[in-house]
């Protein structure tokens, strides 16, 4: 776990960075950059030991943050930009503004997405970091394209300015009580509300879920592995899990049988991520997905008695 570092964290009010704040705040000097428009978000930052900085990385607003940082952890993104121009400004240009302004940092960690990979016809394909790109974020068509552009920005600035960087392609993250909880959190809410869960009709939806506690621990390895040119690495869990498996397990935990529907047109990007490179830089996974889901239910719904 990172300790005694000077860290800038973006996207603090979201799911993943919220967990990072809880882990990093008590052990480091952390600045949390966000617009803090959500009620109580500023107070939560302070409670986590994070210095809340009101600003906008896409507009280059960084007042109040020192530039001699140990690392920048950039998690914030426009996930549903709508228009391509909006996504390019937030995801590509904004990332460039942030990285250039804090170019003295010893490491720049960029959270990308596995949705930028080109779809493979084999649902059991394990994606390598060298696989083709093309984006399969049909749920938000301009998201995958602009995240790919952002990776290009990080790679270029890393070379031009000698900034050690890691581009970590996030798979399905989950764990704590923050934001929507990712795909597993959304599945939990659908099980509880007895909302039909839509699955692809012709293939299993496979992914590599990763608990945010494991992700928080991985930050130390990323800082140590940051390099010029930037290191590109998958950031998913070690197990390939079907979405129906996930929903069935959640249903078993809360004692409710999930309801399913099947669709010929499915928009979520399925992806099993290969972990070989991650293991080479020292990544370890301590929370198996079934245990992680149990922890997630407790974190998001402590009032629900778990079965078993």
Q: Is the pTM of this model over 0.85?
A: yes
Please state which of the ranges 63-67, 114-118, 242-246, 264-268 shows the lowest mean pLDDT.
264-268
Nearest of 145, 134, 119, 20 to residue 74 by alpha carbon: 20
pLDDT of residue 201: 92
The band of 37, judged by pLDDT with boundaries at 50, 70 and 90, is: confident
Place of tokens 């970091």: 129
Task: Provide the greatest CA pair distance for the chain.
Answer: 55
Percent of the chain with pLDDT over 90: 87
Are 241 and 209 spatial neighbours (Cβ–Cβ below 8 Å)?
A: yes
Distance CA 301, CA 308 (A): 16
CB atoms within 10 A of CB 81: 21
223 by Cβ neighbours in 10 Å (0-12 / 13-18 / 19+) ranks as buried
Task: For the chain, list the domains and their CATH numbers.
Answer: 6-174+208-238 (3.40.50.720), 182-205+240-271+287-300 (3.90.25.10)
Give the single-character DSSP code of 71.
E
Task: Please say if the pLDDT value at position 308 is more than 80.
Answer: no
- Cα-based distances in Å from 11 to 86, 105, 224: 17, 18, 22
Token code pair at residue 252: 């078993």
Q: Which of 164, 163, 187 is nearest to 244 (CA)?
A: 187
CA atoms within 13 A on the CB side of 232: 19
- pLDDT given for residue 92 in this prediction: 97
Q: Look-up: residue for tokens 């399969």?
A: 136
What's the pLDDT tens digit per position in 264-306?
A: 887 788 899 999 999 999 999 999 999 999 999 999 999 999 9
Q: What percent of the chain has pLDDT over 70?
A: 100
């Amino acid at each position: 776990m990172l300790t005694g570092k000077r860290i800038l964290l973006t996207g603090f009010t979201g799911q993943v960075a919220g967990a990072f704040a809880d882990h990093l705040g008590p052990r480091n000097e952390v600045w949390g950059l966000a617009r803090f428009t959500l009620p109580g978000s500023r107070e939560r930052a302070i409670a986590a030991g994070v210095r809340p900085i009101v600003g906008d990385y896409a507009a280059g607003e960084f007042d109040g943050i020192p530039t001699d940082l140990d690392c920048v952890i950039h998690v914030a993104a426009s996930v549903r930009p709508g228009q391509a121009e909006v996504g390019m400004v937030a995801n590509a240009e904004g990332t460039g503004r942030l990285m250039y302004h804090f170019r003295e940092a010893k490491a720049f960690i960029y959270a990308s997405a596995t949705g930028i990979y080109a779809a493979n016809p084999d649902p059991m394909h394990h994606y390598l970091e060298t696989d083709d790109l093309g984006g399969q974020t049909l749920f938000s068509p301009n998201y995958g394209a602009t995240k790919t552009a952002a990776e290009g920005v990080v790679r270029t600035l890393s070379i031009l300015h000698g900034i050690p960087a890691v581009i970590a392609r996030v798979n399905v993250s989950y764990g704590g009580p923050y934001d929507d909880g990712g795909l597993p959190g959304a599945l939990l809410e659908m099980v509880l509300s007895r909302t039909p869960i839509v699955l692809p009709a012709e293939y299993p939806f496979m992914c590599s879920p990763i608990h945010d506690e494991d992700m928080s621990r991985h930050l130390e390895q990323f800082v140590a592995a940051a390099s010029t040119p930037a290191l590109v690495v998958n950031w998913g869990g070690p197990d390939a899990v079907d979405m129906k498996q996930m929903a069935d397990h959640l249903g078993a935990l809360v004692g409710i049988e999930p309801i399913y529907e099947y669709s010929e047109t499915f928009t979520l990007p399925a992806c099993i991520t290969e972990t070989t490179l991650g293991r080479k830089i020292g990544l370890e996974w301590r929370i198996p997905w079934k245990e992680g889901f149990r922890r997630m239910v407790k974190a998001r719904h402590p009032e629900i008695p778990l079965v078993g």
